[in-house]
Homo-oligomer: A and B are copies of this chain.
């Protein structure tokens, strides 16, 4: 599959393979996609930190790959995963825990202060 990277990156949607919940949105470079395929665990590329990262490398909240799908234009990936713990660094199962009006629709399932030492996700 000839994936279309833009500036070396492709958008990735992570979805819980069992519940169907959309967990998070992130970016990957070719190396992150390759590592994901090779290891069976979701890897991304952090634009803010300028480096490849394995989801859960700090929190332990890894994403085991069930299936990787690609969209019709070959410019977006869908990681279907088994999520350990929760996807969001805020402690919520999914990063999409608020409506556009700002109302929280789910509650955190873990305490970020206990899972993350000093840093972000």
Cα distance A22–B15 when bound, in Å? 8
Asked if A95 lies at the interface with its beta carbon under 8 angstroms from chain B, I say yes
Set of chain B residues within 8 Å of A73, measured between Cβ atoms: 95
Set of chain B residues within 8 Å of A92, measured between Cβ atoms: 72
Set of chain B residues within 8 Å of A71, measured between Cβ atoms: 24-25, 95-96
A72 touches B90 (CB 8 A): yes
Closest to A37 in B: B100
Asked if A101 lies at the interface with its beta carbon under 8 angstroms from chain B, I say yes
Set of chain B residues within 8 Å of A3, measured between Cβ atoms: 100
Asked if A67 lies at the interface with its beta carbon under 8 angstroms from chain B, I say yes
Top-4 shortest CB links A-B: A20-B20, A71-B95, A69-B96, A68-B100
